[in-house]
Amino acid sequence: MIQKIRMIFNRTQKIKFVVLFCMLFAGSVLELMGVSLILPFVQLVMDTDGTDNALFQWFGRLVGAESQRELLIWLGLLLIAVYLIKNTYLLFAKYVQLRFVFNNRLELSGRLMRNYMKKPYPFHLEKNSSEILRSVTSDVNNLYELVMDVIDLVSNLLIIAMLAVYLLYTDVVITLVVAALLGLCSYFYFAIMRKRTVDYGKQNQIYNGKMIQAVNQALGGIKEIKVLARENYFVRAYEENGRYYASSLKKSQFYRNAPKYLIETVCVCGVLATILVKLQMGADVQELVPQLSVFAMAAFRLLPSVNQVNNLLNGILFLKPSIDRIYEDLQEAGAKKNERPPERDYRRLPAADAVRFEHVTFRYPGTEKEILSDLSVELPLKKSIGFVGSSGAGKTTFMDLLLGLLSPDQGRICYGDSDIRDYPDAWGHKLGYIPQSIYLADDTIRRNVAFGIPDSEISEAKVRRALEEAQLLEFVDGLDDGLDTMVGESGVRLSGGQRQRIGIARALYQQPEILVLDEATSALDTETEQAVMEAVERFRGRCTLLMIAHRTSTLENCDQIYRLEDGKLYRTA
């Protein structure tokens, strides 16, 4: 697990981690100083002739104390000062720890998000979005909760080690008896609970993802759900997964807190039993009282640390599946630490007169069926070309290959003589894409047209021109807020035709050379489809139109029409 954390952290984070541990070590030294001053103070209070002690004599000379009373006052002041300094320092160290954890949690979440966004399109076809959402949010939070647990664990172990050394100096027998009992109890407890705690962590991760999935599905289909009165089904699905999620948390928390009561019982019984044995053997009560005072003060600080160590060890085991998932995702992508988005490739594609598929074969990963088989075709530019075929024939796959979302298993796709894979940015700049289902963010019309472009870089003129070409500008200008009108989640405040026109405007914003329509009007009624196609027809001759349609009437004005069957394209009349 430590190796995985090292891979996830970058060099700067590792250095800060080491500095943090040095601060924790200094804190544990201050803890030791605070406890170690208790014994001299109690001895001086109880010893009427404490000034005979060599240590007290040295301290008295140092502070100029002339009596035991003055010496006691000075030692008390020193004790107060040490505790003030210690706790102020520990508070500052806690602030540094929290700043390290939460700043780096944000950085890792951004790294994961960047990693997922850079994944090839097939990854997103196979990956459930709720799993990605869980990784970027819950798993990252769990990872840094684990990091905090590790830091607190080391801090408490240092404190325990320091205090144990001092208690050995104070009374070897009592310290060894209690340490042996605690060690045996902790060993057997974790030997029994280790696997069970990891299993609870895995269940927590699985059912958290299923709860997110249930919410996504319910909100995504809220209209149909309300019409069909299926609310109870989705509520039950959420609650059922929620029960398993809560059960794993409940069991984990129970086993994390159980050692507390065991440890307290063992420590108190161990100390008292040893003292009773000593008394039985004739030990002087006057000698035992200062020792008891030290052990009582040490227990006040030590027991919470020992309890927390057991608690943290259980927590680390419980959260381990989250670090495994993040490690796998980052390693799978070869994601580098301190990774920044790659420089854009501004090379221009050489001029061309056609897009060519040259002996292209493609099958989806994990399947044997070839969707496209040794397909070759030349698509002339500045023409309108239609594609038809039965459902599942591979029309959308063909377009995804042309868009660069998928890569051929064999063959290549060229713009003129240039392979589009060699010019990903330049090729993307030439394309406009209008899918069947337009995604609209819950944002303004302006930002939905200039989708994914920072506000400072949005061109008002280009937005208005794109809306005008999509025959929507008049409607937008008639709205109270104009371009700043909120469209609602998934464009719920707009009609189907208006959503599709915003999709067209988005595709036209960057003035593409090739406009791809993937069944862009199939969900519209005939009248709206006709109006949308009239808007599209305005670009005939200005750019290349590549259209997939399930109604052949939609393609009646195309210069060429192809039918896709059995992985091949056939020119039709």
Q: What is the pLDDT of residues 29-43, one digit of tens each?
A: 887 777 777 767 766
| pLDDT attached to residue 293 | 65
Give me the DSSP letters along 453-496: --GGG--HHHHHHHHHHTT-HHHHHTSTTGGG-B--GGGTTS-H
According to DSSP, the residues that pair with 431 across neighbouring strands are 514
478: CB partners within 8 A, 6+ apart: none
CA distances for 297 relative to 42, 74, 159, 167, 293, angstroms: 11, 20, 14, 11, 6
Do residues 386 and 555 touch, judged by C-beta distance below 8 A? yes
153: CB partners within 8 A, 6+ apart: 308, 309, 312, 313, 316
What tokens were used for 122?
């097939």
Between CA 143 and CA 541 the distance in angstroms is 55
Between CA 161 and CA 513 the distance in angstroms is 71
CA distances for 438 relative to 504, 533, 558, angstroms: 9, 16, 23
| pLDDT attached to residue 285 | 63
Between CA 529 and CA 107 the distance in angstroms is 46
Return the closest-CA partner of residue 357 out of 317, 316, 307, 398. Answer: 398
* DSSP label at residue 259: H
Give residue 495's region: left, alpha or beta (phi > 0; psi -120 to 50). Answer: beta
Strand arrangement, sheet containing 431-434: 431-434, 514-518, 544-548, 384-388, 560-565, 568-572
User: At residue 364, what are phi and psi to the nearest 5 degrees?
Assistant: -75, 145
Domains 2-332 and 354-572 share a fold: no
Between CA 565 and CA 392 the distance in angstroms is 10
Return the closest-CA partner of residue 255 out of 266, 247, 244. Answer: 247
Q: Give me the residue label for tokens 């405007």.
A: 505
Correct CATH for 354-572 of 3.30.910.10, 3.40.50.300, 3.30.420.40, 3.40.190.10: 3.40.50.300
Please identify every stretch of the chain with a pLDDT value under 70, giving residue numbers as ranges: 1-7, 39, 42-57, 59, 66, 220-224, 226-228, 260, 271, 282-303, 307-308, 310-312, 314-315, 319, 332-347, 521-525, 528, 551, 573
Return the closest-CA partner of residue 371 out of 555, 561, 122, 119. Answer: 122
3-state helix, strand, coil in the chain (%, to 5): 65, 10, 25
CA distances for 58 relative to 52, 66, 71, 78, 398, angstroms: 10, 12, 11, 15, 90
| pLDDT attached to residue 362 | 92
What tokens were used for 297?
């003060």
Between CA 143 and CA 150 the distance in angstroms is 10
Return the closest-CA partner of residue 135 out of 206, 200, 196. Answer: 206
| pLDDT attached to residue 337 | 47
CATH code linked to domain 2-332: 1.20.1560.10
Between CA 12 and CA 18 the distance in angstroms is 10
- Return the axis-axis angle of helices 54-63 and 68-118, rounded to nearest 10°: 90
What tokens were used for 356?
């060519």
* DSSP label at residue 136: I
Q: Where are the chain's structural domains?
A: 2-332, 354-572
| pLDDT attached to residue 297 | 62
pTM: 0.64
Print burial letters for 253-288: b (CB count within 10 Å at least 16), e (below 16): eebbeebbeebeebbeebbeebbeebeeeeeeeeeb
| pLDDT attached to residue 100 | 85
What tokens were used for 470?
């999509």
